[in-house]
Amino acid sequence: MSALNHKLRAVGVILAAAAASGQLQAETVTVGAYAVANHSSCGAGNIPGTIQEMNRFFASPDMPADMQKNFYWKDTRVRQNEWTKDGDYRSSTEAASGFDGSDASLLTYIASHGVTSSGVYKALAGSKNAGGCYIPTTSLELGNHASRYTILSTCQGLKIGTGDYPEAAGENPSKTWKNAAKGLNCIFGYSNNMADADQYGEYLLANIKDGTTPLSKAFMDASESVSADNIPAVLCFGASEQEAADYIADNKTFESQARPHATSAWVYRMSNAASGARAVKSSIPAALKLLPMKLNVDKISKAFVGGGATKSISGKIITHTSNTGTASYNERTGTLTIKNFLVNDIRSESVPSLEESQKIATHALKISGLLKIDSSLSLSTIAEDIQGGEKGVSKAISRKFTFKQNLAGATSLSQQGSVDVTVGAGGAVTEIKAALVKIDPVFTPSKRPTDLATRELELETSALDYVAMKAPGANYRIVKKRIGYDAGSFMKRNQISPAVIEVTVEAYQGEFKRLYVEKIAL
């Protein structure tokens, strides 16, 4: 047995003994939640998805048993003076713990408008009363009481560079939050203007439910499931920048113990279209019925986690587990997930160049057999996780390559119908996630193909009208258009997948903006 396996076994024995003796106790994760949908009194566009987002978060079946709502305030009840240092922790008969304010819960979660400029982040409160509209970092001292983690489901909560371009000169979240986060362990947010949606919190809970995924990855994966155009970021603190970076990579639970605040590190994820990505045909069937493509997980797992893996079946989920990793297949959604357990030993090594990483990802796709199952797979997007700190952007820590299937002349605009291969330090393949689909052979597509050219202007106008109903009184501009099939994400599969034009509209009013992604059936 290798030295590494001896270490793993020893750690397992220690944890098992501690659990048996009662030394390991799951602590209660109290949640203080804020959501502002109506921004009319503060001169910004409404964002109705915020309250829906928080409602879905608390209603999620994946809510951990040790996570409890301390309070949940909406619209005008979201007060600026409950965020500033004089009112962020105070006695209250309305809160379950007996304490209210943004520093009164282990996890504080706000969904609202936000913006960062000249090193100051501001979120919007629910009205001009109780202190005013703005909640600025210059007035915050989060973490010197109960709070250890903050989720900023707002635009630009962790703005890096120009927001859309983190490597450009501009903002640095280590400096923005240096004095505002007195005892927080981590902050989860966005560098750019995020897409309006209500699944963010629900998807986060689904990603952390098994306890094996770092909180940072769970958060960024949830954001990506909503929209690959989001640029999620995670900022954590530590005695050194490397220690803070290690905490980002390793922390899997919400911990009440405060970390050292000597410095901080952050990681962001950004996706870009691959060069040569296939364009859609000028006309495609109006809808497809998609079925999960059956995969031989026994054969695939052997190539990645070894022939001696332990096989287990729980409902529709088949899992192979060994000392080197896991291969899990969900028969209901058709989602395959392969994880590498042995990457920590090479974390200090550099990630290969973009060109070399792509070669490694393509080779992994071949040896998995997935490329043989569907030879139409082609590289669509490249996402990179980039680490930085007080001195700015420092290095890439992983690169993810997304390969898409060709579905009757177009691809899926979401994660179904794709394969993700992530390459990390030392060129190790850290994760493969796939959800291949096939067109139901008994389904007859529409005989009349969709003619895109004659309807594009009409569809763009419809998208603008939909956004105007959600955020009345704002200004609007179209920032992106894509055509393909709405097939669903790794979280949920759409059986009937319409051909859609996906129009991304920016709604802006004053300094606050929001992106709305409208999918309109062709």
Return d(Cα 292, Cα 416) in angstroms, integer. Answer: 9
Return the pLDDT at 27. 79
> Is the pLDDT assigned to residue 21 strictly greater than 90?
no
Burial class (CB in 10 A: 0-12, 13-18, 19+), 276: exposed
The beta-strand segments (E) located in 276-409 are 283-284, 287-292, 310-314, 317-321, 325-330, 335-340, 378-389, 392-404
Question: Could you give the percent of the chain with pLDDT greater than 70?
Answer: 92
> Is the pLDDT assigned to residue 491 strictly greater than 70?
yes
Return the pLDDT at 451. 61
Return d(Cα 4, Cα 475) in angstroms, integer. Answer: 58
Residue 403: both structure tokens together:
């390969």
CA dihedral 238, 244, 249, 250 (to 10 degrees): -20
How does 425-447 read in b/e, with b if 16+ C-beta sit within 10 Å?
A: bebbbbbbbbbbbbeeeeeebee
> Model confidence at 25, in pLDDT bands (50, 70, 90)?
very low
For the chain, how far is it from start to end, CA to CA, in angstroms?
58
Based on DSSP, count helices (H) and strands (E) in the chain, helices before strands. Answer: 10, 27
Least confident of 13-27, 44-58, 106-120, 159-173: 13-27
> Is the pLDDT assigned to residue 12 strictly greater than 80?
no
Residue whose pair of structure tokens reads 């996890």 in the numeric block: 107
Residue 453: both structure tokens together:
């050219």
Return d(Cα 250, Cα 516) in angstroms, integer. Answer: 33
Q: Are strands 67-74 and 29-35 parallel, antiparallel or unpaired?
A: parallel
Mean pLDDT, residues 269-276 taken together: 88
pLDDT in tens, 353-374: 999 999 999 999 998 889 889 8
In sign, the C-alpha dihedral spanning 145, 146, 147, 148 is positive
59 Cβ partners below 8 Å, 6+ apart?
none
Report the CATH fold assignment for 26-270.
Rossmann fold (3.40.50)
103 Cβ partners below 8 Å, 6+ apart?
88, 89, 141, 142, 143, 144, 145, 146, 147
430, 423 Cβ separation under 8 angstroms: yes
74, 36 Cβ separation under 8 angstroms: yes
Residue 330: both structure tokens together:
């969900």
pLDDT in tens, 195-225: 999 999 999 999 999 888 999 999 999 999 9
Return d(Cα 398, Cα 350) in angstroms, integer. Answer: 9
pLDDT in tens, 288-308: 999 988 888 888 888 888 878
Q: Give DSSP secondary structure letters for 440-454.
A: -TT----SS-EEHHH
Return d(Cα 500, Cα 320) in angstroms, integer. Answer: 37
Q: Where does residue 401 fall: left (phi above 0), alpha (psi -120 to 50 degrees), or beta otherwise? A: beta
Residue whose pair of structure tokens reads 């390991």 in the numeric block: 24
Return the pLDDT at 3. 37
pLDDT in tens, 404-456: 999 988 899 989 999 999 999 999 999 999 999 999 988 877 655 556 667 77
More confident residue, 276 or 15: 276
CATH class for the domain made up of 450-521: alpha beta
408, 445 Cβ separation under 8 angstroms: yes
> Model confidence at 311, in pLDDT bands (50, 70, 90)?
very high
> Model confidence at 513, in pLDDT bands (50, 70, 90)?
very high
Return d(Cα 138, Cα 119) in angstroms, integer. Answer: 9
Mean pLDDT, residues 66-88 taken together: 96
Average pLDDT, the chain: 89
> Model confidence at 284, in pLDDT bands (50, 70, 90)?
confident
